[in-house]
Structure 1
């Protein structure tokens, strides 16, 4: 398209050119900021415009900058935080979460987003793994943490106001220095910390600015956009692809606090004239089941996207019937925590022309389907989805072996997902081996199996995903007892003490029969799934 060529060609505002990135030649945006600190400093120019809005509060860009500068000075001067130190945030969504994130950036630290649904054992592992200088938590999560914390409710507001005349003193960083660590469930039983650099995040910002420029080219004013943030901030969907880029573009983030409630969320959309909303299929399903939504004025909502979990063409059709903003504005996407942003996005036209596909690669993303020998295959042939871009994480925190498995020597990232290219669009045929996606949260069976194996009286077990009408999948466990069979209630209580609630099995099959295995001793997972379905 001519518009894209002008924007991304030589001299264009979003010129793409090849540069060396961690030993590979990759397409990069020439005009990107060189650090998130630079993005933060520039945001002051947006002044009194809304940045963060909740049901009861409003924070302008100027107020946000003052709060961040004050908290950064307190972290540096009073708490001794130095560049490269980790600051962990374990809390539900709030403006203080976002201020804490940017204050970490302002002192040259690395912001670590902990999953706010973790159980104490998972939190203890992450504390040892990332060794944070400071831990910030809301009171609910602070009660689960064994060491001193700064509370979201009291301490963070105090630090935000402690130095009202503070100015930014942001240390210099290299583009490929770590800026953020977000955890993703581990295939081998431990969460892995995906490390995202300043370059990763500033590249994501340019991707969103490019999308805004495309809107402007078609006569739409991106400065009037108002974005609903209703997913957890410890995910890339809302941190990397909403809170961060909107600080750069000067557009409002409408922050929903608390659990998802259809009436509260749609009331917020109506009152704040939200224009853009990215949801998980479980949210969309609850709206479809909610009943008549016509009592809400949703005319401002012109873009509605689904992410983090697959959804069928049949469900998308139901959604478009029940939820008017999804008619013409619905998009779907595919991405990973490791990819920082969408690997591909399906536009309304894509969904109409090729239902079930996930669109074409995001600008700046190189995508190939590869065979078992790591060789690219032609269009129409199934294989592993491999991607390379300036968005991809730099690696896993303190896990060189996992990093080496994820990347080959040319910085191609192996997703583990199986797919095929059809007329330039990506279609996934199998998500990562054994992965369960429950309400948008990734659940790896190995982690749960390792916990259940610790229970006295469990000889062996296997965890599988079972279809669920609301969540997409629920977690099911087949447990082989060694002696008197344990009760599902006892097993669930045992798991609940050690795992986040969404990982605890809700369906149990307890038996004395050994699990079926092949000649090499591997459990025949498909056979188990068929037997208990």
Structure 2
């Protein structure tokens, strides 16, 4: 969402009117799991209610792919049929887990809604997992049934749990009960609805448990954004927006923040399937007149590499947001140079799986004023930067980013110790990320787990990576700490450049010495043309990086 400069003074007043007493998005404090937190006063109470209400959108497109279209009414019929089949034929009931293991497909979304409509818990397994990782996920959450595409179903031990394939089994179940009503289970707001696994860049992934309250709050947050945009003169109605879904559905950016809210606002999910190919993606945007695109930096990087995009009609795009992985001001400038919508509407955000949505968002106006910021906390989010003793710090001081909101997860699945470390007194989520607030805007310094302790000095990789990214020949970079016999750790860097580049470690070190303190300059380097390994959400898999 963008706002012109002359609107800036009116935004706080509009927000107060929308969220104040009697406003359409009135915020009140209520008891949630023993803590008084801000919630939307007018809200649905379960995701089953959301499905039931979605039929009002009738024959409008809900999901569109390169070769298929599913209306809201048709989707509701499929959800009802599959829910009945899961309940009667596979014994799925309230609180049972239904595992979803597949690349993006419309049936993944239908299966999600069928599961939560029963009061069961949809478990999004990472479609990139290997057979041992899948076995771990099944042992961890013990699903009643697994719904998978054929490729991944082959890696599931079918003797332990029934496996239904999206290609062979599910299509028949979507038609088996054509006239049944949608389920009407008794569901509490704080009942679990979804388990989403953390990225798992190190160690075993943890299952973040999201409740009906969590997802309903995300819906209302995005509805609030629509209302604010309309107040600022945006002429496009929410139901006329067409949202490109090119991120995996086992990630909150695609499911919680794109597919789920469309069932309420009537917008369309334009689903891209298969390996990310710039030409195919842009042709789909052309054909379907996509208006909104949320991408990870990896996708944006491929747009930059593609170069001239003038051969594509991208005039329908009015919103482009980066999420899921860090990006730098220098990268933003390169993106603006090739993608027209990024020049006026580029937004950035800070969020994590445990929080269900962006906790802070940098609008185009924020990025113009503070290019290195991640914007201001979103509506209903309380954000504090705290010292090691848990005391809130003033603006400008660095500490751990802590959050409290109706978006914060219930906890980690069957892991009370990890839950207690993350969600502490009064429902404050301790993110483990290091940052500060300046002029009301959040700046991320580093992930706590990435912090390098060099001879007693704290070194934050994100700071060094940001400066390295300003070098015109650096395509990607990663800074990590490696063991050192005297210093404890030394700073190491991997820099990705073009194959014909003449970059050397000496020239890179010289570039940094002019801009950073000596102890922050890496002493170990690897300069390569090989891209950094990344997971499905665009984050670098640090454990696979060689220095």
TMscore range, shorter length: 0.7 to 0.9
SS of the residue corresponding to residue 410 of structure 1 reads helix
Q: Which residue of 1 aligns with 2:194?
A: 180
| CA–CA separation in structure 2 for the residues paired with 1:382 and 1:432 | 12
Offset of residue 506 of structure 1: 5.7
Offset of residue 223 of structure 1: 2.3
Instruction: Write the mapping of 1:231-310 to structure 2, written as runs, cut at 5 A.
Output: 231-310=247-326
Q: Are 2:202 and 2:543, in contact at CA under 8 Å, matched by a contact in 1?
A: no
| CA–CA separation in structure 1 for the residues paired with 2:170 and 2:393 | 52
Instruction: Write the mapping of 1:372-391 to structure 2, written as runs, cut at 5 A.
Output: 372-391=388-407
Give me the TM-score of the superposition, normalised by structure 1: 0.83
Q: Deviations over 1:344-367 (max 9, x none)?
A: 000000101101100000100000
| CA–CA separation in structure 2 for the residues paired with 1:63 and 1:402 | 41
- 1:202 matched to 2:213: no
Q: Which residue of 2 aligns with 1:40?
A: 51
Offset of residue 107 of structure 1: 1.4
| CA–CA separation in structure 2 for the residues paired with 1:297 and 1:379 | 44
Q: Which residue of 1 aligns with 2:152?
A: 141
Instruction: Write the mapping of 1:51-62 to structure 2, written as runs, cut at 5 A.
Output: 51-62=62-73
SS of the residue corresponding to residue 419 of structure 1 reads strand
Instruction: Write the mapping of 1:61-80 to structure 2, written as runs, cut at 5 A.
Output: 61-80=72-91
Q: Deviations over 1:441-470 (max 9, x none)?
A: xx9x99xxxxxxxxxxxxxxx998844469
Q: Which residue of 2 aligns with 1:157?
A: 171
SS of the residue corresponding to residue 212 of structure 1 reads helix
Q: Which residue of 2 aligns with 1:110?
A: 121
Q: Deviations over 1:105-128 (max 9, x none)?
A: 121110000000001111111100
Instruction: Write the mapping of 1:488-499 to structure 2, written as runs, cut at 5 A.
Output: none
SS of the residue corresponding to residue 129 of structure 2 reads coil
SS of the residue corresponding to residue 328 of structure 1 reads helix
| CA–CA separation in structure 1 for the residues paired with 2:119 and 2:435 | 39
Q: Deviations over 1:69-102 (max 9, x none)?
A: 0000111111111111000000000101000100
The size of the alignment, in residue pairs, is 463
Distance 1:22 1:505, change over 3 A: closer
Offset of residue 434 of structure 1: 2.7
Alignment counterpart, residue 131 of structure 1, candidates 129, 142, 149: 142
Q: Which residue of 2 aligns with 1:412?
A: 428
Alignment counterpart, residue 229 of structure 1, candidates 242, 245, 249: 245
Q: Are 2:238 and 2:266, in contact at CA under 8 Å, matched by a contact in 1?
A: no
Q: Are 1:215 and 1:222, in contact at CA under 8 Å, matched by a contact in 2?
A: no
Q: Which residue of 1 aligns with 2:454?
A: none
Q: Are 2:262 and 2:268, in contact at CA under 8 Å, matched by a contact in 1?
A: yes
Distance 1:181 1:468, change over 3 A: farther
Aligned-residue RMSD, C-alpha:
2.6
Q: Deviations over 1:251-309 (max 9, x none)?
A: 10100011111000000000000000000011001001102111110000010000011
Q: Are 2:201 and 2:543, in contact at CA under 8 Å, matched by a contact in 1?
A: no
Instruction: Write the mapping of 1:62-101 to structure 2, written as runs, cut at 5 A.
Output: 62-101=73-112
Q: Are 1:434 and 1:464, in contact at CA under 8 Å, matched by a contact in 2?
A: no
| CA–CA separation in structure 2 for the residues paired with 1:196 and 1:467 | 37
| CA–CA separation in structure 2 for the residues paired with 1:390 and 1:141 | 34
Q: Are 2:99 and 2:147, in contact at CA under 8 Å, matched by a contact in 1?
A: yes
Offset of residue 411 of structure 1: 1.0
| CA–CA separation in structure 2 for the residues paired with 1:126 and 1:464 | 34
Between stretches 319-328 and 218-227, larger displacement belongs to 218-227
- 1:191 matched to 2:205: yes
Q: Which residue of 1 aligns with 2:340?
A: 324
Offset of residue 6 of structure 1: 1.6
Distance 1:465 1:396, change over 3 A: farther
Q: Are 1:54 and 1:254, in contact at CA under 8 Å, matched by a contact in 2?
A: yes
Q: Deviations over 1:177-203 (max 9, x none)?
A: 100000004587211000000000000
Instruction: Write the mapping of 1:442-521 to structure 2, written as runs, cut at 5 A.
Output: 466-468=494-496, 503=541, 508=546
| CA–CA separation in structure 1 for the residues paired with 2:108 and 2:491 | 34
Alignment counterpart, residue 434 of structure 1, candidates 450, 465, 477: 450
| CA–CA separation in structure 2 for the residues paired with 1:377 and 1:44 | 48
Offset of residue 215 of structure 1: 1.7
Q: Which residue of 2 aligns with 1:517?
A: none
| CA–CA separation in structure 1 for the residues paired with 2:307 and 2:107 | 34
| CA–CA separation in structure 1 for the residues paired with 2:70 and 2:21 | 38
| CA–CA separation in structure 2 for the residues paired with 1:506 and 1:199 | 37
Give me the TM-score of the superposition, normalised by structure 2: 0.81
Q: Are 1:236 and 1:341, in contact at CA under 8 Å, matched by a contact in 2?
A: yes
Q: Are 2:289 and 2:317, in contact at CA under 8 Å, matched by a contact in 1?
A: yes
Q: Which residue of 2 aligns with 1:217?
A: 231
- 1:422 matched to 2:433: no
Offset of residue 5 of structure 1: 1.5
Q: Are 2:209 and 2:409, in contact at CA under 8 Å, matched by a contact in 1?
A: yes
SS of the residue corresponding to residue 344 of structure 2 reads coil
| CA–CA separation in structure 2 for the residues paired with 1:20 and 1:61 | 34
